Amino acid sequence: MILHFRSAIGLGVLGCLLTPAVHAQQAAKASVGRVTFSGYVRDAATGENLIGVAVVHPSSGQGTATNTYGFYSLTLPASGDTTRLLASYLGYQRQVVPVRLDKSQALNFRLQSATSELQSVEIVGTQQEKLAESTRMGTMNIPLNQIKAVPALFGERDVLKVMQLLPGVQAGGEGQTGLYVRGGSPDQNLILLDGTPVYNASHLFGFFSVFNADALNNVELVKGGFPARYGGRLSSVLDISMKEGNMQKFHGEGGVGLIASRLTLEGPIKKDTASFIISARRTYIDLLARPLINLAMAAEGIPYNERPTVGYFFHDVNAKVNWKLSQRDRLYLSAYTGRDKFYARYKSPVEDGQYNQEKDGLGWGNITSALRWNHVVNDRLFANTHLTFSRYQFDVGIEQTNRFRRNPGEPLQTEKFALLYASNIRDWTLKTDFDYLPLPNHYVRFGGQYIFHQFRPGAMQIKSSDPDANLDQFNKESRTLGHEVGVYAEDDYKVTERLKVNAGLRVNGFAVDGKLFPSVEPRLAARFLLTEDWALKGSYARTSQFIHLLTNSGIGLPTDLWVPATAKVKPQKAQQVALGAARNLRFKDEDYELSLEAYYKPMQRLIEYREGANFLGTTDNNWQDKVTSGKGWAYGAEVFVQKKTGRTTGWVGYTLSWSKRQFEELNQGRVYPYKYDRRHDAKVVIIHDFNDHLRLSGTWVYGTGNAVTLSRGRYVLGDYQQYDDYGPRNSYRMRAYHRMDLDLSYTKKKKWGEMINSVSLYNAYSRANPYFLYFQQGYTDMNGNVEKKSTYKQISLFPIIPSFSKSFRF
């Protein structure tokens, strides 16, 4: 097995090395009589790398764009003439630099932000390449200024909730942050924070995400047409980059809301050489709710000294250090830690030294860290090496203490009992990526990664005064270890002025418990320009996923368990084909982008709990007996219109889709709609700046109701037990969901910076949207006549919710 594993890796490495080697030979022949300009494009005020900046040679029309780290490389014919290079980026002033085409040289651009007057007109963007010119499909890039302007629940700006406003992306339920992308489930989304996977992206039982928008630099969602550099998931990639820290001066921003406060600080450690950024956030729900809980218990007549202490809070911290080692080398160290904690404590009144005490707790959270080294190998080759660690864990515990006397006058005795149940997943990753730009018509990427997985679906520890009751699975070697390797190569090749192709190949291997799962994944995307502004596009991607999520719900509960593929539970597989068109529009001197996409995605080896099974009692060894495997299909069409510039910005999206599942052991083996199968889904986002100070934003969403399984009847048999007769799985539709949110913010200039006051309305017209349904039993009179029929009642979670928040920048 090891020999075969090494052979598979060797073939993949050979394939990845072969592609750039061929290009290197071609480039060497073509480089005779050519010069290369390369360097970084950064914000002049902060030193922050700018992503997607267009660097163009206007005379020839040749150009390129900066990569994720702000690096560009442009090769042009040598002539000895003096010409110009232009760097252009939305929301920044263009910079034109005279150059001489006689020798290769390093050339950095530092772009000035637009004036305050222009900033109210042009929103800073994160993607410069025109939509019709790009080969990529299903890729969404929303400017951070728009993300921060979108109305939010309780005034907490949330990246994941903004992603839910895009076509092809659905929320799991009212207020939830889960992403259901093109018929997939949340575990099929690869969420990366500075290149490090985040396994649970939710706070407050799924109502808020773990990402603090103040600390972010770029957010990109890929729903289809996956480039070969991405692997490991079936449905989407959410690639989030943190800011790198202001290298010029100290800066800060933060805010105070109804349930949480946040603060971000950044600045130079050594000007133009090293910088830092640190961002922290904490909720104070437990402190605000405590007086209300005490009042409720007082109304129930519970004495003060007999009241339990109940609370919940979450916190998270982002930190990053950026160090410029030389003109060719830069080092980054970033980290994230966040945790949710629910607790309940009770202690009975002390009588003669005797008491009963109980402490209950439920906690979950992530820790991620990344060490990244950027190195410019030469003027056409850029290398980025990552060493990352990621851990997600949830734990639930009970601790009881009983202090008592067996008989009056006898010494006090103490009995203790403690139970801790925990589940976690840990990853250590080493990854290297290369960007190679031999010619303006080629953009080659290649690289590889190794991931060491450690899975612990469930382990229990029991400590008791009774030594016979003690149990400690934590000390046993019950972890499951997995090894994942992936190599890839891709080329974004401009074949002609009209035809551009992105072709790539990814080779993966996953080894666990002596079993090897190889996977070869071709990727292809192309665009053909019909006119300067109209393009036809198509893509194909094969993907595999070597980890599964055992879940009973769709709301991001911490009881969801991560488990590996095994000989019994195979890796998930999917293919996705997409066709579409894109156009850059100009209407009344305003720029718009229009995209239309249709997709088809079959999925295999999906897993679900068997009927009646759940996480309780799950251990490292028995989880495989609780699940069943099946398949699924998702297909549909999406329309997206976006406007990034002007006083009024935003987007409109519509999705028509179907998502189905089939499991031999569920629903009698028949095909059924996925829980989040949603036929119609529409989203509207509008942001309008009246002037430099006043902004109004609003969103409206509509979606077909979720599919649920309901009982068709309830019977009482001879043993007086009630039994429900359930119909076909997910055969009932809840009412349609629709909601409008509004936000009005006023920015006031201060000597030290800015103060932003925001008032928002969640569910502005107070729509009673369904959250879940419950059965209400009917009853009859003594003669058997029905006095009240049995029925289902709807529970709605949020009526209209006003909120106020105060933010600041200095």
CB 531 within 8 A of CB 574: no
Identity of residue 499: L
Q: What is the largest CA-CA distance in the chain?
A: 105
Cα separations in angstroms, 283 against 205, 258, 338, 356, 430? 13, 9, 12, 31, 34
Mean pLDDT for the stretch of residues 763-771: 89
Cα separation, 194 vs 269, in Å, equals 21
Cα separation, 483 vs 285, in Å, equals 41
Tokens of 292: 């209300």
* Banded model confidence at residue 663, pLDDT cuts 50, 70, 90: very high
Beta bridge partners of 445: 435, 490
Residues contacting 719, CB < 8 A, separation 6+:
none
Placement of tokens 């911290």 in the chain? 317
Tokens of 306: 């007999």
The confidence score (pLDDT) of residue 462 equals 83
Cα separations in angstroms, 208 against 175, 268, 567, 582? 8, 31, 36, 33
| 706-715 pLDDT, tens digit each | 888 887 776 6
Cα separation, 641 vs 359, in Å, equals 53
* Banded model confidence at residue 13, pLDDT cuts 50, 70, 90: very low
Provide the b/e sequence for 185-206 (b: ≥16 CB within 10 Å). Answer: bbbbbbbbbbbbbbbbbbbbbb
Mean pLDDT for the stretch of residues 701-725: 76
* Banded model confidence at residue 434, pLDDT cuts 50, 70, 90: very high
The confidence score (pLDDT) of residue 4 equals 44
* Banded model confidence at residue 125, pLDDT cuts 50, 70, 90: very low
Provide the b/e sequence for 772-786 (b: ≥16 CB within 10 Å). Answer: ebeeeeeeeeeeeee
* Banded model confidence at residue 348, pLDDT cuts 50, 70, 90: confident
In terms of phi and psi (left: phi > 0; alpha: psi -120 to 50; beta: otherwise), the region of 703 is beta
Beta bridge partners of 216: 242
Cα separation, 274 vs 321, in Å, equals 7
Q: Does residue 644 surpass a pLDDT of 50?
A: yes
Tokens of 628: 């069943």
Read off the pTM.
0.85
Q: Does residue 30 surpass a pLDDT of 70?
A: no
Backbone angles phi, psi at 206, to 5 degrees: 100, 0
The confidence score (pLDDT) of residue 217 equals 87
| 250-291 pLDDT, tens digit each | 999 998 888 888 999 999 999 989 999 999 998 887 776 777
Q: Please report, in angstroms and rounded to a whole number, the separation of the first and last CA atoms in the chain.
A: 59
Instruction: Report the range out of 124-133, 183-192, 340-349, 574-583 with the highest average pLDDT.
Output: 574-583
The CATH architecture annotation of domain 125-809 reads: Beta Barrel (2.40)
Q: What percentage of the chain exceeds 70 in pLDDT?
A: 86
Cα separations in angstroms, 64 against 43, 70, 277, 786? 18, 12, 30, 75
CB 374 within 8 A of CB 330: yes
